[in-house]
Structure 1
Amino acid sequence: MKILAITSQKGGVGKTTLATALAVAAEQDGKSVALFDLDPQASACFWADRRQKELGESGQTPTVRDIQTARLSHYLDRMREAGADLVILDCPPVHRDIAHDAASVADLILIPTKPEVFDIRAMQQTVQAAQQIGKPCAVVMTFCPPSGPEVDQARQIVGKQGAALVPVALHQRKAYGRAQMQGLAPQEYEPGGKAAQEVQEVYIYTRLQLFGEKKHGSKTGQSRKRA
């Protein structure tokens, strides 16, 4: 079982949007997935509630749980016993102790950031925290404008930090927000859209880092166990 933590010390950078979209992408790839909501705001749980209301029985996956950090290791053990392939940790901003505990058990940390000065500053702090505990991390650019120098400037800063950069950026697209309100991921809301393509490319990158898998659907045809 692999553990992916999605964290940033600043809010509003798209952590839950990324977490839910990657959880759905992994499910579509045939993996058994659990999404643990560590944020007191419980945005991922709200998404899951909307999902079940919209989709009924088919909206019960991926599994989403509201988890207290003190019980994190217990629930991770339960997921291993259940045969889960992937657990995604949706971490809160500001709460450094929670983020630290989540990062400590993660196989990979994704750090979403907007290409704006205050967000980049918070990203740098999060990268440093991951590096201090020796965990691999990668920065994901989010809410990127269609043009302008901000994205390239942010990429240069990431490079100077010595952190990996996910090769695809998530842009400002209505599909992200509209999908969230319906308990969907962008690839479900608008399968042929640009947001869906961006999510899929981020998932491919993440899957390669975690599982070493390059081909999509490597588990197709196998029975999928519920996490």
Structure 2
Amino acid sequence: MIVALLNQKGGVGKTTLALHLAGQWASEGRRVCLIDADPQGSALDWSEQRNREGLPRLFGIVGLARDTLHREAPDLARHADHVVIDGSPRVAGLMRSALLAADLVLIPVQPSPLDGWASAEMLALLAEARIYRPDLAARFVLNRCAVRTVIARETAEALADHDPPVLRTAVGQRVVFADAARSGRLVSEVDNGSPAAREIAALADEVARIALGRVTR
């Protein structure tokens, strides 16, 4: 299973979600590889920080910020249960390659009209990829949101009948994500019983059920 987190807009939390999905699946005993396809290399930086802190490696991280990703990712997938791609914003060639590599695309958005408008280019690239990959599945995921706010509810309702639809699990705006990242940790390692850790576990479960169930579109 290859899951790509993509959005043309930066700052929506792709890397945070990618790392935490990979970490959650690894904690459940699955073989996981994360592909850092962002030239900024934030996931690789997180891994280096983790090494400096003397923490054990949870999953493999490979830097592949090039537009041959769709040809290279399947080789990595043969040796892993899950491959997670942390995509690059604003680089159309890398985005297209990641779309062609993926079984499921997750599009992180924040509950804001600006994020909805910024997703238009991403959806155009998705439609283009579906010419070659008609069964390519995709979902929006609400991230960095105060779940009980009016705007979060309105965003979820607006996306409910959208193509692609929105995942049921939303991930809140929580300081623990930034605190954990600074030391190369995941929120489950900081506090496994926290709301953030529970949201990530629920998100990983929902995504795995969609991808492994081969739910399309």
TM-score norm. by structure 1 comes to: 0.85
Measure, in 2, the Cα distance between the counterparts of 1:119 and 1:9.
10
Contact 1:38 1:98 (8 Å CA) reproduced: yes
Change (3 A) 1:30 1:40: same
Match of 2:73 in 1: 76
Measure, in 2, the Cα distance between the counterparts of 1:171 and 1:131.
29
Structure 2 segments unaligned to the other structure (5+ residues)? 131-135
| Deviation larger for 72-81 or 19-28 | 72-81
Match of 1:31 in 2: 30
Mapping 1:64-103, distance limit 5 Å? 64-73=61-70, 75-81=72-78, 83-103=79-99
Measure, in 1, the Cα distance between the counterparts of 2:203 and 2:74.
27
Contact 2:68 2:97 (8 Å CA) reproduced: no
Structure 2 residue 59 is the aligned partner of structure 1 residue 62? yes
Mapping 1:194-205, distance limit 5 Å? 194-205=195-206
Q: CA deviation at 1:78?
A: 3.5
Measure, in 2, the Cα distance between the counterparts of 1:146 and 1:211.
27
Could you say what secondary structure the match of 1:168 adopts? coil
Q: CA deviation at 1:61?
A: 2.7
Aligned residues: 209
Could you say what secondary structure the match of 1:133 adopts? helix
Q: Percent identity?
A: 27
Measure, in 2, the Cα distance between the counterparts of 1:144 and 1:123.
17
Measure, in 1, the Cα distance between the counterparts of 2:24 and 2:158.
29
Could you say what secondary structure the match of 2:40 adopts? coil
Contact 2:65 2:94 (8 Å CA) reproduced: no
Change (3 A) 1:176 1:148: same
Match of 1:152 in 2: 153
TM-score norm. by structure 2 comes to: 0.89
Measure, in 1, the Cα distance between the counterparts of 2:64 and 2:124.
25
Measure, in 1, the Cα distance between the counterparts of 2:205 and 2:77.
23
Q: CA deviation at 1:96?
A: 1.8
| Aligned AA (1:50) | Q
Could you say what secondary structure the match of 2:3 adopts? strand
Measure, in 2, the Cα distance between the counterparts of 1:68 and 1:145.
32
Pick aligned residue for 1:123 from 119, 123, 135: 119
Match of 2:210 in 1: 209
Write out per-residue CA displacement over residues 15-37 of structure 1, whole angstroms, 9 at most, x where no aligned residue: 00000000001101111111111
Match of 1:172 in 2: 173
Contact 1:130 1:136 (8 Å CA) reproduced: no
Q: CA deviation at 1:127?
A: 3.1
Measure, in 1, the Cα distance between the counterparts of 2:99 and 2:71.
16
Contact 1:23 1:88 (8 Å CA) reproduced: yes
Structure 1 segments unaligned to the other structure (5+ residues)? 214-227
Could you say what secondary structure the match of 2:53 adopts? helix
| Aligned AA (1:91) | G
Contact 2:67 2:94 (8 Å CA) reproduced: no
Could you say what secondary structure the match of 1:64 adopts? strand
Contact 2:71 2:101 (8 Å CA) reproduced: no
Moved over 3 A (4+): none
